[in-house]
Amino acid sequence: MGSPFLLQPSRSLTEEAMAAAGQSQDDLKRIAALCAVELVRSGMVLGLGTGSTAAHALDRIGDLLRGGDLRDIVGIPTSEWAAGIPLTDLAAHPVVALSIDGADEVDPALNLVKGRGGSLLREKMVEGASRRFVVIVDDSKLVPRL
């Protein structure tokens, strides 16, 4: 697996500026998640991350599958939320094309803190099997130091 890279909304907004622009923190999570979904192609085996930001990505992938814009996608879940994406496991698909997940904190060097919950082991296993690992965060997750 290559180094993780960070997808986030293209502009940095303070909470006050977000409110003035009419964008909530959840809106920014959704925007970041949609950027990650643009990397998904038909026929992929996906690692399906956990958390509120990853849920936005899974919802969109599920919508694209139901609409016929994506086909032959299977996902390896790291939680119980799968948004209607057909599921598989690492035994059946030991190589994952793309994993999409969020993070609890990200520093300027893209070091991550993630998986503080019960999904930590499963997340590590799925991400370790991934050719590409995409971390999606909003500005609230960016910190100067872990």
Q: Residue 48 sits in which domain range?
A: 17-141
| Span 105-140, pLDDT tens digits | 889 888 888 766 667 888 889 999 999 999 888 778
The amino acid that residue 134 corresponds to is: V
Q: For 24-35, what is the mean pLDDT?
A: 85
Catalytic residue among 15, 80, 123, 127: 123
Domain-located, residue 146: no
| Span 46-70, pLDDT tens digits | 999 888 888 999 999 999 999 999 9
Contact 51, 39 (CB under 8 A): no
Is 127 in the active site?
no
Domain-located, residue 2: no
Domain count of the fold of the chain: 1
Domain-located, residue 8: no
Domain-located, residue 39: yes
- pTM of the model as a whole: 0.82
**What is the number of alpha carbons within 13 Å of residue 110 lying toward its C-beta?**
11
The amino acid that residue 130 corresponds to is: S
Which CATH number does the domain housing residue 25 bear?
3.40.50.1360
Domain-located, residue 73: yes
